[in-house]
């Protein structure tokens, strides 16, 4: 099976956010297929996101500080956009709604974690963000919360659902 190739260097050079394109490519992968990504920098935050989706990686520097990264599926069941294989469609409707799209990091993460501390196990929080909260995911997982998220159809707003849980 051939690798799916995605070159996000033009997006990055034009000041764009390539995460939506990357997740679109990940979601289109066939079982066992690898993703070969080309970027203008070593995408360290993406490594953690892809790890939660069941991928390892091989990163190779190219000329002029650019990188090639091959994401390799490590598990047969890759969960797309979520921290848990449980389908978020089965979660209760959100009881908390936060529009944090106008806030700069780390304020959205601080507000989400603070609000989750007050919520009951199983309650769901919905948040709108200006970017994907890459550094929030490990915090949610460490606290026993489940999450699912994606960019809206315009790619401008990240939608995040978090189901409150207990620390494992």
Superfamily of domain 88-163: TusA-like domain (3.30.110.40)
Q: What is the largest CA-CA distance in the chain?
A: 51
pLDDT attached to residue 24: 83
Convert the pLDDT of each residue in 34-70 to its tens digit. Answer: 999 999 999 988 888 888 788 899 999 998 899 999 9
pLDDT reading at 85 higher than 80: no
Domain boundaries of the chain, sorted by first residue: 4-73, 88-163
Strand partners, 90: none
pLDDT > 70: percent of the chain = 92
**Do 4-73 and 88-163 share a fold?**
yes
88 confidence band (pLDDT: 50, 70, 90): confident
Superfamily of domain 4-73: TusA-like domain (3.30.110.40)
């Amino acid at each position: 099976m051939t690798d799916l190739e995605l070159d996000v260097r033009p997006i990055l050079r034009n000041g764009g956010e390539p995460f939506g394109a990357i997740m679109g490519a990940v979601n289109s992968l066939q079982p066992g297929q690898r993703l070969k990504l080309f970027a203008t920098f070593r995408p360290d935050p993406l490594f953690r996101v892809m790890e939660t989706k069941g991928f390892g990686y091989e990163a190779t520097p190219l000329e002029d500080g650019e990188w090639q990264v091959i994401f390799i599926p490590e598990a047969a069941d890759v969960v797309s956009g979520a921290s848990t294989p449980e389908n978020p469609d089965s979660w209760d409707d959100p009881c908390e709604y936060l529009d944090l799209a106008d806030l700069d990091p780390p304020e959205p993460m601080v507000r989400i974690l603070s609000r989750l501390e007050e919520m009951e196990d199983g309650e769901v929080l919905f948040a709108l963000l200006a970017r994907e909260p890459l550094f929030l995911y490990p915090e949610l997982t460490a606290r026993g919360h489940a999450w699912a998220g994606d960019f809206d159809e315009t790619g401008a707003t990240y939608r995040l659902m978090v189901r409150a849980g207990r620390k494992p």
